[in-house]
Amino acid sequence: MPRTNGTVVGTQVEDTRICVVMVGLPARGKSLIAGKIVRYLRWLSVDARSFNVGTYRRQDTPQPTADFFDINNKEGERMRRAAAEAAVKDMLKWFSQEKGTVAILDATNSTRARRKWLAQTISSRGIEVMFVESKCDDEDLIMSNIMEVKTTSPDYRGQDPEAAARDFRDRIRNYEKVYETITETDYTYVKLINVGTQVVINCIQDYLQSRIVYFLMNLHIKPRSIWLSRHGESMYNLAGKIGGDADLSPRGMRYGEVLPELCRQSGILPQQGITVWTSTMKRTIQTAQHLPYNKLQWKALDELDSGTCDGLTYEEIEEQFPEDFKARDDDKYNYRYRGGESYRDLVIRLEPIIMEMERQENVMVVTHQAVIRCIYAYFMNVPQDRSPWMEIPLHTVIKLTPKAYGTKEERFKANIPAVSTFRPKYSSAKHQEADSPDVNELSVKMSI
Amino acid sequence: MPRTNGTVVGTQVEDTRICVVMVGLPARGKSLIAGKIVRYLRWLSVDARSFNVGTYRRQDTPQPTADFFDINNKEGERMRRAAAEAAVKDMLKWFSQEKGTVAILDATNSTRARRKWLAQTISSRGIEVMFVESKCDDEDLIMSNIMEVKTTSPDYRGQDPEAAARDFRDRIRNYEKVYETITETDYTYVKLINVGTQVVINCIQDYLQSRIVYFLMNLHIKPRSIWLSRHGESMYNLAGKIGGDADLSPRGMRYGEVLPELCRQSGILPQQGITVWTSTMKRTIQTAQHLPYNKLQWKALDELDSGTCDGLTYEEIEEQFPEDFKARDDDKYNYRYRGGESYRDLVIRLEPIIMEMERQENVMVVTHQAVIRCIYAYFMNVPQDRSPWMEIPLHTVIKLTPKAYGTKEERFKANIPAVSTFRPKYSSAKHQEADSPDVNELSVKMSI
C-alpha cells in the first residue's frame, strides 16, 4: 500500500495483493463493475488494473459468432482457454514486475473447473483470490446490457445491430448451458444478485477485501445525477486569502439567490427527491440557503485544512514559507500544510462521502474548491498529478451523470461575475476577475 | 439523527427509525450481537436500545423448564406470545415518546409467522424493520454459548450447572422443531452464518442500515486483546502546552525504551502476530520505535485538533479565549475549538479505526489522550458526558480484552515518572507530577 507523508490509505498489510475474479454470464454488467472497482481503488492510491479476457481472445478471433462459444466447439474452447491463460500470464507479470496491488480478471469464469484452475494458479503465487459474481435475472437490465453491447462491443463492430443482438443472445445461451453459480464455500467470494438487491459474502479475509465488498454493497444502477457547486464568492476570495470561515461577498450572496433557478435549468425538477449536502462552513451554508430541498451538513466536506497558512494570501505564504510554497507546487497532491492537510489526506476524509454518493440517487453538493477537485477526480477518473490543478470556477454548477461507460459532464454558469481563485503553478499573483480576458481557457471551454 | 455544531453523524434522513429484529436459535450469540450494535450506535450518538423478550417473559415465568418452550404447550406459547407483545409495545412507546432511533428486538423470532406479525406491526408505524439472523452450526461455538448461559442466565440462577445445561439443550431442541431460517426476500435482512464466515444481505435500504450491516460484516469472535498507550511524555507536556508536534522528553524517550518489556509483561508474546498503530505525529512514532512489530501510521489517530489554541497552555487559553475556555468545560464533548475539532468530530474521524479494530485480532494503538478517551469509551461503553473527562495517564499500557458480556481491563504502569496532563473542570493549573501526592485517585485505583 502506498505511503506518503507517513499516511497510509488504510490497510495495515503492505504486501496485500488481490486478484478479483469476475464471474457471470455475458450482459450482467461485469465490465462495468470491474471498471468501478478500478476507479475507486486508484482514487484511493491503490494500484489497480483490469485484465479483460475478451481483449486477448480478439487478438486471434476478432469477430466470432455464437458458435465459437458452443460447448461442443473444441477449437473454440481451446482458443478461449488460450486467451484466459494469456490474460492470467500478463496479470501475474503485472503483479511481480510492476508491483500491482489489485487486478481484476474480467471474464465469465462461469464453471467450477475454470474457477478451480484460477484459484490454484493465482493463489500459488501468494496472491489472494476473491471471486465477484454478478447474477442477474432482471430481464430489463439484461436487455439494456445487450443493447449496449451490440452497439459498443468490438465483437460486433460494423455489423447490423439486430443481427448482432440475435447472435449475442445465442452466445449467452451457450454460456448458460455450462454456467454454475458460485457455491464453493472454501473460496472468498461476493455474489451480487440483481446489483444492490441481495449480496452474499463468503470468507472475507482482510481490510482491503472488506473495503471492496462494502463498495460493491453500495453500488446501484438506477439512473441519477450528481450536482456540484462551490460556495458563492466569499470575502476571503475577494481578499485573495485562503481558508478561514468568511461570509459570502455581495456577489456570492447573489449567486445563492439565483442558484435555485440554475438548478432548475440544469434539470432538477421541483418535485424530484434531492438532498443538498454542504460543509459546516458559513460560505457553503449561505450559498445553499435558498434551495428548497432537504439539507445536510457534513464536517467531512469542509475545505482542505491549510494549517498555519490559514487566512494568508498566496503572496504571504510565498514570503513567509518560501520552501513550503515551492514544495507544494512540486507535488501538490502529497504536500501537507504544516498543521493541516494534503490532497491525499482529503481523499481519505472524503471516502465515506464518495461511498454515500454511490449509494444515493440524486444529490447536490455545495462545497469547496479542493473538495470538489477530489470528488470530480473520482467520478471523472482524473489522475493525481492533474486533479489538484483543475480549474473549478466559482458561480458554476457542474452536473455529472454516470452512464454505463463513463460519466457525462455538463456545466451551468450563473451570469454573476466572480474572481477566479485558480492559481497556476509557482504563481502567487492576486486573484483576477474570472470574466476578464485573463480567464483560464479551460474554464470557458468547459462551461456551457 | 443528532446534530451538534452543524455536524451530523452521517445519515441524511433525520427521521430514520429502525427496528433490528434478531432471529436465531438460542445460544447463537444474538444478545451479544444486539449488545454490540447498541454500543456502536450509542458511541456514534445514535439513540439505540435493546428490548429483550426473555426479560418480559421472566416477569411471569422466572425459571421455566424446557417444557415451557414445547410447541405443544399451549399455555407456554400463549405466555411467550404475551411477552413478545409486551416488549413490542414498550419498544413502540420508546420510539414515539422518547424519539428513539434504533431499537433491537432481542428474541428468537424463529418462525415465518412471528416475523410476518412483527414486520406488519412495526412497519405500520413507519419504522423500518431489519432482520438480523445469527445462524451457527459450529458445535464448539454453540457449546461455549451454552456454558455461558447456564452460568449467567437468570433462568437458571441457583440451579445445578449440569442440569441447567441439559435443560437448555432441550429448550434448543424445542426451538429447532419450528425454526425456519429467513428466506423472505421481500424483507430487509442480514444473515450471519458462523459469525464472520458468510453473510447474506438482502434489500438494504438506507445509510444507517448499511452502516449496521458493515459493522456486522466486520465482527468476529476469535479471542484477542487490544493494547492502548499514549505517547511518552513530550516536551509540550512538560511545558504544559497542548497540540503541536513536539519530540518526546528524556523521560518520554525512556518510556519508549521500556515499552517492549511492558508489552511482554502485559501478555504480548514475541511470536504473536500483532500490529502497532501510531498517529502521524513524532511523539507516537518515537514512542513505538523500539517495538519489534509491524507498524502502521494513521492520520485518523492524530490528536484532537485544537485549532487556534494549538501550542497554548490552558492558562493562556483561559486568558486569551475566556468564553471558549468556559464553553468547552460546560460541554466538553460538543465544544469545537475555533478552526479545530470537538470530541464529537473526533469520534466521526475514528469510526473507521473502530471498524478496523473490530475486524483485527491483536492490535496495539499508540496515540493521544483525547483519541484514547474515545477508543476506550467505545469498548468500555462510557457515556459522552464522562468520556472527555477520563484520566488516561502517561507511561501506562491499557489492555482491553473483549469477553462475551463486557470488556476486561488491565493497566500496566511503567516505573518512569511523568507529568499528569489530566485537567479537572474549570481548572487551568499547570501540569503536576503524576507521582506527586496530588495524583488523581482514579489513576491509582485503576492501575495494576
Measured between alpha carbons, how far is residue B444 from residues A30, A285, B232 in Å? 60, 48, 18
Give the chain B residue nearest A191 (alpha carbons).
Answer: B200
Of the candidates A185, A210, A339, the beta carbon closest to that of B310 is on A339
Confidence band of B369 (pLDDT split at 50, 70, 90): very high
Q: How buried is residue B437: exposed, middle or buried, by Cβ count under 10 Å (0-12/13-18/19+)?
A: exposed
Query: Can you tell me the ipTM of this complex?
Result: 0.79
- Which pLDDT tens digit goes with each residue over A57-66? 999 899 999 9
pLDDT exceeds cutoff 90 at B407: no
> Cα angle at A369 between A363 and A375, to 5 degrees?
45
Q: What mean pLDDT comes out for the span B328-351?
A: 90
B198: Cβ contacts below 8 Å, ≥ 6 apart: A185, A200, A201, A202, A203
Give how far B78 is from chain A: nearest CA, Å.
35
pLDDT exceeds cutoff 50 at B446: no
Q: Which grid cell is B59?
A: 416477569
DSSP state of A410: E
The DSSP annotation for A11-52 comes to -S-TT--EEEEEE--TTSSHHHHHHHHHHHHHHTT--EEEEE
Query: How far is it, in rounded angstroms, from Cα B230 to Cα A317?
Result: 34
- Which pLDDT tens digit goes with each residue over A132-172? 999 998 888 888 888 877 777 889 988 888 899 899 999 99
Backbone angles phi, psi at B134, to 5 degrees: -105, 115
Contact A201 B217 (CB under 8 A): yes
pLDDT exceeds cutoff 60 at B420: yes
- Which pLDDT tens digit goes with each residue over A233-272? 999 999 999 999 999 999 999 999 999 999 999 988 877 7
Mean pLDDT, rounded, of chain B = 88
pLDDT score recorded for residue B95: 96
- Which pLDDT tens digit goes with each residue over B387-396? 999 999 999 9
Q: Which amino acid belongs to residue B201?
A: I
Of the candidates B201, B339, B348, the beta carbon closest to that of A299 is on B348
pLDDT exceeds cutoff 80 at B130: yes
Give how far A14 is from chain B: nearest CA, Å.
9
Indicate which of A199, A342, A353 best probes the interface with B, i.e. most B CBs within 10 Å of its own CB: A199
Q: How buried is residue A338: exposed, middle or buried, by Cβ count under 10 Å (0-12/13-18/19+)?
A: exposed
pLDDT exceeds cutoff 60 at A13: no
Residue B38, Cα to own-chain centre: how many angstroms? Answer: 8
pLDDT score recorded for residue A374: 98
Q: Comparing C-alpha atoms, which of A402, A436, A391, A398 is closest to residue A417?
A: A436
- Which pLDDT tens digit goes with each residue over B165-219? 899 999 999 999 999 999 999 999 999 999 878 999 999 988 889 999 999 999 8
pLDDT score recorded for residue B145: 82
pLDDT score recorded for residue B434: 62
B window 291-310, beta carbon within 8 A of A: 294, 296-300, 305, 310
Q: What mean pLDDT comes out for the span A372-399?
A: 95
Classified as helix, coil or strand, B381 is: coil
Give the chain B residue nearest A345 (alpha carbons).
Answer: B299
B-chain CB neighbours of A299 within 8 Å are 6-7, 345, 348
B54: Cβ contacts below 8 Å, ≥ 6 apart: B83, B106, B107, B155
Q: What mean pLDDT comes out for the span A376-405?
A: 92
Contact A348 B300 (CB under 8 A): yes
pLDDT score recorded for residue B94: 97
Classified as helix, coil or strand, A362 is: coil
Per-residue b or e along A312-327, where b marks 16 or more CB atoms closer than 10 Å to that residue's CB: bbbebbbeebeebbee
Per-residue b or e along B153-177, where b marks 16 or more CB atoms closer than 10 Å to that residue's CB: bebbeeeeeeebbebbbebbebbee
Q: Which amino acid belongs to residue A381?
A: N
pLDDT exceeds cutoff 50 at B1: no
Backbone angles phi, psi at A189, to 5 degrees: -150, 160
Backbone angles phi, psi at B109, to 5 degrees: 40, 50
pLDDT exceeds cutoff 70 at A440: no
Q: How many CB atoms lie within 10 A of CB A4?
A: 16
pLDDT exceeds cutoff 60 at A446: no
Q: Hey, what's the torsion of the CAs at A199, A203, A208, A210, to 10 degrees?
A: 40
Number of residues in chain B: 448
Backbone angles phi, psi at A227, to 5 degrees: -105, 130
Do B120 and B11 form a contact (C-beta atoms < 8 A)? Answer: no
Q: Which grid cell is B414?
A: 511503567
A-chain CB neighbours of B199 within 8 Å are 199-202
A196: Cβ contacts below 8 Å, ≥ 6 apart: A217, A219, A220, A221
Q: Which of B121-135, B232-246, B429-443 has the lowest mean pLDDT?
A: B429-443
A200: Cβ contacts below 8 Å, ≥ 6 apart: A189, A190, A191, A193, B198, B199, B200, B201
B138: Cβ contacts below 8 Å, ≥ 6 apart: B194
B-chain CB neighbours of A217 within 8 Å are 201, 204, 210, 213-214
Give the chain A residue nearest B310 (alpha carbons).
Answer: A339
Give Dmax over CA atoms of chain B in angstroms: 75
Q: What mean pLDDT comes out for the span A42-46?
A: 93
Query: How far is it, in rounded angstroms, from Cα B214 to Cα A216?
Result: 12
Confidence band of A14 (pLDDT split at 50, 70, 90): low
Residue tagged 501475474 (cell numbers) = A92
Q: Which amino acid belongs to residue A23?
A: V
Q: What mean pLDDT comes out for the span B136-164?
A: 85
The reply to whether the predicted model has a pTM over 0.90 is no
Q: Comparing C-alpha atoms, which of B398, B407, B368 is closest to residue B263?
A: B398
Give how far A265 is from chain B: nearest CA, Å.
25
A-chain CB neighbours of B356 within 8 Å are 10, 12, 207
Backbone angles phi, psi at A85, to 5 degrees: -65, -40
Task: Kindly state the percentage of chain A with pLDDT values over 90.
Answer: 68
DSSP state of B241: B
Do A192 and A132 form a contact (C-beta atoms < 8 A)? Answer: yes
Q: Which grid cell is A303?
A: 475545505
For residue B74, how many C-alpha atoms fall within 13 Å in the half-sphere facing its CB?
A: 0
B183: Cβ contacts below 8 Å, ≥ 6 apart: none
> Cα angle at A406 between A405 and A409, to 5 degrees?
145
pLDDT score recorded for residue A167: 92
pLDDT exceeds cutoff 50 at B12: no
Do A19 and A129 form a contact (C-beta atoms < 8 A)? Answer: yes
Q: What mean pLDDT comes out for the span A369-378?
A: 97
Confidence band of A202 (pLDDT split at 50, 70, 90): very high
Confidence band of A113 (pLDDT split at 50, 70, 90): very high
Query: How far is it, in rounded angstroms, from Cα A286 to Cα A143?
Result: 45
A-chain CB neighbours of B310 within 8 Å are 339
pLDDT score recorded for residue A71: 87
A window 322-351, beta carbon within 8 A of B: 339, 345, 348
pLDDT exceeds cutoff 60 at B444: no
pLDDT score recorded for residue B312: 95
The DSSP annotation for A86-153 comes to HHHHHHHHHHHHS--SEEEEES---SHHHHHHHHHHHHTTT-EEEEEEEE---HHHHHHHHHHHHHH-
Classified as helix, coil or strand, B411 is: strand
Q: What mean pLDDT comes out for the span A368-379?
A: 97
Q: Comparing C-alpha atoms, which of B230, B297, B315, B225 is closest to residue B267?
A: B225
pLDDT score recorded for residue A242: 95
Residue tagged 477520563 (cell numbers) = B390
pLDDT exceeds cutoff 70 at A445: no
pLDDT exceeds cutoff 60 at A448: no
- Which pLDDT tens digit goes with each residue over A297-336? 988 899 999 988 999 999 999 999 999 899 999 999 999 8
Classified as helix, coil or strand, A364 is: strand
Confidence band of A436 (pLDDT split at 50, 70, 90): very low
pLDDT score recorded for residue A1: 31
Helical segments of B61-154, H only: 74-97, 112-123, 139-152
Do A112 and A189 form a contact (C-beta atoms < 8 A)? Answer: no
Q: How many CB atoms lie within 10 A of CB B92?
A: 17
Confidence band of B436 (pLDDT split at 50, 70, 90): very low
Query: How far is it, in rounded angstroms, from Cα A231 to Cα A54?
Result: 45
pLDDT score recorded for residue A174: 93
Active site residues of B: 106, 231, 303
> Cα angle at B376 between B371 and B381, to 5 degrees?
130
- Which pLDDT tens digit goes with each residue over B242-270? 999 999 999 999 999 999 999 999 988 87
Number of residues in chain A: 448
